Structure 1
């Protein structure tokens, strides 16, 4: 069951709650923001957003009415069922509003617009104390749509401002049952589940039933927020003709410039094709040094003898420098 906590939780308590790395619902967390109040009507919301418009353009998805806003791969694996167009915010809002009023118009979706670039001053006018200081919002605006099941590499607080969003969530370890598509040919940066948007009981994806049995589904109304830990899979359906979501991405536990995803990519190139017994041996080393299921690998020694494995920024820098030297062939 999805955990729900009070929207007025102190930021420090919310930070502690996030350490469980489980999704959290916060009903009404964004209800008092000026942008949410402006979203009482499409016209009012468009006027409010255009007040901050910097004039910058962004890429938009444009879909034929026949796809019903379900942006996905096309019939061929190297294509998609939508077009991409470069639009300014005002033009995009106008087309989204026109499509909301007439079902025979192409749907439009503008995602991941950094507020600081496209709407300077918006973040300051709509502060959300729950997010860490310095983390700025992004906007996702469009008609009714279904965004394919994917994951993020950062922690995510998603706030519905206008319309409704239905989230279907799967835990990170459901990855094998979701039948993930290519990691280098994606719709918007992240690989997606092919099974989650397929027809029910598609014979190509027999293991998907196991993922479905573990799915969590929740609907967010205007003002509601959902915290999604990194790596949780989520399909997002915007069900109203006109929708706006605002989200924040950050990494609660970042300790340096490198990301776990970088390590994953490197591990794929170095380990995936080795014999199974050797992969099992390396798995034991990863468990011991990286995942530390038995605690710190040098816990049997006094801290002053932990050397490069002592937890400090300096030591992380030393390991990084050593890795870079190895990659350069040094």
Structure 2
């Protein structure tokens, strides 16, 4: 789905967010100061960023010419095919600029840099009206032509192209079983990645990936374009120009409190995943009934006054259930 023109908070909440589907928002960040500076020249963009640079040391991903900018695991998951180097952001920008002028040489990028730490004040001039007022984290990604392995995020995302071009290849959350996901505790940048999506076509190790490939959505973004990417959608990201910059916003649009769903997933893994198949099936039925609620509220047959702890979370039940869970986890 694509949409042009401005996007305010009310329109986003009513017409886009509930579907939990990606949407391309053409030109939505085209009037940002950084986007306008990048359209003028790379030097103008660097000067714009320099006005906010706090001097913090960033971690850069650096790959030799042999990887052609494709950051990934090394063979047999034995390490990675790139190195990490620490350097001030200004030095990183200088190296990125030099590498961009020699395409085909070494690649370098700095990614997921929190704006509040590295570019304080930048966010005030680079906002989106569709975002909530609080609990939003802004990050920047700057580098040469590169490809980031297919992964998912546990937050909703606005990905905003400031300079260069980005190609996103998207897979829906329920494609996970066909993506051949790697380790969850040995990752390149925090999130598990799909081993199949970055492999050669028709790799015999990943026969089910053909199904996922048939469901892939490819999105090409130009400077000023924004991709709304709901949480848990798989995405590989290619920065296809010699020099590229992206700003993204992460937040949880439907959070009921401070607890993340991923925490519940990990707890369920250790509590349920190695039980007998028939017991796992029984717990699945209970999760479907109480958590996923495909048939509606589990106590819809009772008056709302009798729903007790299963009443609305905002009416104190969030805290009551959480307190009970914490007591159980502490052995109480």
For the superposition of Structure 1 and Structure 2, which TM-score range results when normalised by the shorter chain?
A: over 0.9
Deviations 1:53-88 (A, max 9, x none): 000112110111110110000014230000001111
- 8 Å contact from structure 1 (residues 53, 119) kept in 2: yes
Deviations 1:284-323 (A, max 9, x none): 0000000001111111111111101111342111111111
The answer to which of 146-155 and 99-108 deviates more is 99-108
Structure 1 residue ranges (4+ consecutive) displaced by more than 3 angstroms after TM superposition? none
The answer to which of 154-163 and 311-320 deviates more is 311-320
Match of 2:31 in 1: 32
> Which ranges in structure 1 are unaligned for 5 or more consecutive residues?
none
Match of 1:168 in 2: 169
Match of 2:127 in 1: 127
Q: Which secondary structure does the structure 1 equivalent of 2:264 belong to? A: helix
Deviations 1:250-273 (A, max 9, x none): 111101111110010011111111
How far apart, CA to CA, are the structure 1 residues paired with 2:128 and 2:229? 16
Question: What is the TM-score with the length of structure 1 in the denominator?
Answer: 0.97
User: Does residue 203 of structure 1 match 2:195?
Assistant: no
- 8 Å contact from structure 2 (residues 166, 222) kept in 1: yes
- 8 Å contact from structure 1 (residues 60, 87) kept in 2: yes
Match of 1:329 in 2: 331
Deviations 1:179-204 (A, max 9, x none): 00000000000000000000110000
Please state how far the C-alpha of 1:116 moved relative to its aligned partner.
Answer: 1.1
How far apart, CA to CA, are the structure 2 residues paired with 1:209 and 1:48? 44
How far apart, CA to CA, are the structure 2 residues paired with 1:291 and 1:27? 34
Match of 1:11 in 2: 9
CA RMSD of aligned residues (A): 1.0
Deviations 1:21-67 (A, max 9, x none): 00011000000111100002111111111111000112110111110
How far apart, CA to CA, are the structure 2 residues paired with 1:278 and 1:261? 22
The answer to which of 55-64 and 101-110 deviates more is 101-110
How far apart, CA to CA, are the structure 2 residues paired with 1:128 and 1:137? 11
Question: What is the TM-score with the length of structure 2 in the denominator?
Answer: 0.97
Please state how far the C-alpha of 1:103 moved relative to its aligned partner.
Answer: 3.1
How far apart, CA to CA, are the structure 2 residues paired with 1:7 and 1:140? 25
Paired residues, number: 328
- 8 Å contact from structure 1 (residues 36, 222) kept in 2: yes
Match of 2:58 in 1: 58
Matches within 5 A, 1:225-244: 225-244=226-245
Match of 1:253 in 2: 254
> Which ranges in structure 2 are unaligned for 5 or more consecutive residues?
none
- 8 Å contact from structure 2 (residues 62, 108) kept in 1: yes
How far apart, CA to CA, are the structure 2 residues paired with 1:57 and 1:15? 37
- 8 Å contact from structure 2 (residues 168, 237) kept in 1: yes
Matches within 5 A, 1:1-330: 3-16=1-14, 17-40=16-39, 41-103=41-103, 105-134=105-134, 135-313=136-314, 314-330=316-332
Please state how far the C-alpha of 1:136 moved relative to its aligned partner.
Answer: 4.2
- 8 Å contact from structure 2 (residues 7, 129) kept in 1: no
How far apart, CA to CA, are the structure 1 residues paired with 2:52 and 2:152? 30
